[in-house]
Amino acid sequence: MPYRPMTPALALAALLLLAGCSDGSDGSEQAGGPPRTTRQATPDPAKETTGPSPDDTADGDRRETAVDPAAQAYVDAVADEDLDALVDAFHPDARLVDVDRTFDGRDEIRDWARDEVIGGRLTVLENTPKDDGTTLLVRFAPGGTGGFEANYTFDVRDGRIARLDLQYA
């Protein structure tokens, strides 16, 4: 079969398709507008981690879909750019470890969140429940652009975050 070059319209369509798929965005941001934080209560089932439960069968694990409410409060506060709600998600004597820096109590966590979290974009990729909280694999884009993947391990006590450990994935 002889070689036939792509028509200009077909080439343009292919370029537009590639451009729309390659930037990692969901297409919901408007040009010139502020970046949106992705709020995801139920992680992508295709990427979701499963864990054993009393209802498991020999054929496979039951999928855990609900993010722990304290962790969800954190995700929602980032999405809403609500510093007070984010701080309120933490227990008064909470500890936050951000890679190699430690923040103790709500006042230090407030300063950290104000300077480094609020205004960012947080997307939950996986949820791995545990007895006293959950571990979320997230994509965080400080300032709404760029970003990195990290594991956020939430230890929960009395319905609030007692410890949050953030480590690069």
Confidence (pTM): 0.65
Q: Looking at the 3D structure of the chain, how many domains does it have?
A: 1
Q: pLDDT by residue (tens digit) across 108-158?
A: 999 999 999 999 999 999 999 999 999 999 999 998 788 999 999 999 999
Alpha helices per DSSP H over 6-93: 8-22, 69-80, 83-88
**DSSP one-letter code for 37:** P
| Position 144 in a domain | yes
Q: Residue 165 pLDDT > 80, yes or no?
A: yes
Q: What is the pLDDT of residue 143?
A: 85
pLDDT at position 21:
41
CATH of the domain at 168: 3.10.450.50
4 within some domain: no
User: Is residue 160 domain-resident?
Assistant: yes
Task: Tell me whether strands 121-130 and 101-104 are parallel, antiparallel or unpaired.
Answer: unpaired
40 domain-assigned: no
Q: What is the pLDDT of residue 53?
A: 37
* 21 belongs to a structural domain: no
Q: Are strands 90-98 and 160-168 parallel, antiparallel or unpaired?
A: parallel
Asked, for residue 58, whether it belongs to a domain, the answer is: no
Domain that holds residue 90: 68-169
Q: Is residue 56 part of a domain?
A: no
Q: How far apart are CA 75 and CA 37, in angstroms?
A: 9
- Model pLDDT, residue 144: 79
**Position 105 in a domain:** yes
Section 73-88 average pLDDT: 98
Separation of alpha carbons 155 and 95, rounded Å = 10
135 burial via Cβ count (<10 Å: 0-12, 13-18, 19+): buried
Q: Rounded mean pLDDT of 80-99?
A: 98
pLDDT at position 65 is 66
Select the more confidently predicted residue: 94 or 15: 94
